[in-house]
Structures are given as structure tokens and as C-alpha cells.
Structure 1
Amino acid sequence: MTDSVAPELPFKLGTNVRLRETPAFLKTADPMPMLRPPDLVDGSEVGEVVGLRALEQYAVRFRRGTFLLEARQLEPVIDALTG
């Protein structure tokens, strides 16, 4: 018998995140994704994880759209009020 343990995901739904660095392009999280210029998301802008995708990709909603990003491109935002 094997014990199957689900891997811990870096981010959960509703987590506030920001970009670690500006990517070369942004891929929209639409049913038919499109590549968009990276300047749609400011480096200090906070987004919310709204979807989990395969291969550690996340749909993150920012002010100007929802984009697919890899976990390594994101960092959590620590709220000063909650800790």
C-alpha cells in the first residue's frame, strides 16, 4: 500500500500576490489565451489568486486583467494588519 500525499501548493485561492519580476509577456487566463504586453501589471501592484492550473500555474486577477503566471514568478503579500 502506498501513502499518497498531495503536494503542498505555494498559494491558495484568495492569496494576495505580486510579481517577483516583470515577465517578458503576460498570458491572459481567458478560454482562448492571448499574449499581452508586460506593462499591464505594475511591479508593485497586488493581485489575487483566483484559479489553480496545471504545472504550478495560477490565474491571478490584477487591476487590468486576469493572467496565467507560474508560482516562481509570484511572491505572497503580507498584510500589515493580519500578520
Structure 2
Amino acid sequence: MSIEIFVSDKCPHCKSLIEEYKNNPQKFEGQEFININENMMNLKRFLKYRDNLKEYEKIKEAYKVGVPSKVIDGKKVEFFDQV
């Protein structure tokens, strides 16, 4: 199973998750933690999912970015409490 967690260091809703990752990286073992603001490849990777997975539709309609979110096997999206 592939798990990608997308965050942004510019997003106030991601700050606590980023801190948790820094302080307890073992909790995220086997999951890829991706800051979409780190480089263009990370942003493009996120946008590919955001543009193609139906779970992001309501997020886009609300003019939100969609982070923090978790993409599982490139097919399923789970959102954290605040997106």
C-alpha cells in the first residue's frame, strides 16, 4: 500500500501535522510526507491527484487547496480534520 500525505508549510491547518511529523517521524513510517511548497515536482504531484480524484471536487468548489490530505494507492483520498 502506498500512502502519500500532502501538506503545505504555508497552510495554517498543516502546521500541527508538520510539527507532529518532525517530533514523531516513526508515527508516519511507511508513509511519504510531501510538502507541496518544497519544489515544483511536489506541487505537480499533488495537483495531478487534485485534478483527477473525485474526493477533491468539493474542496475545489469551495476554493480550498485540499491540504492536509492523504492519498492511498493513488486512488483514495482521506482528509484530516481541517482542510
Q: Per residue, is there more helix in 1 or in 2? A: 2
Q: TM-score range by the shorter chain?
A: under 0.3
TM-score relative to the length of structure 2 = 0.27
More strand by share: 1
Quick check: which has more Rg, 1 or 2? 1
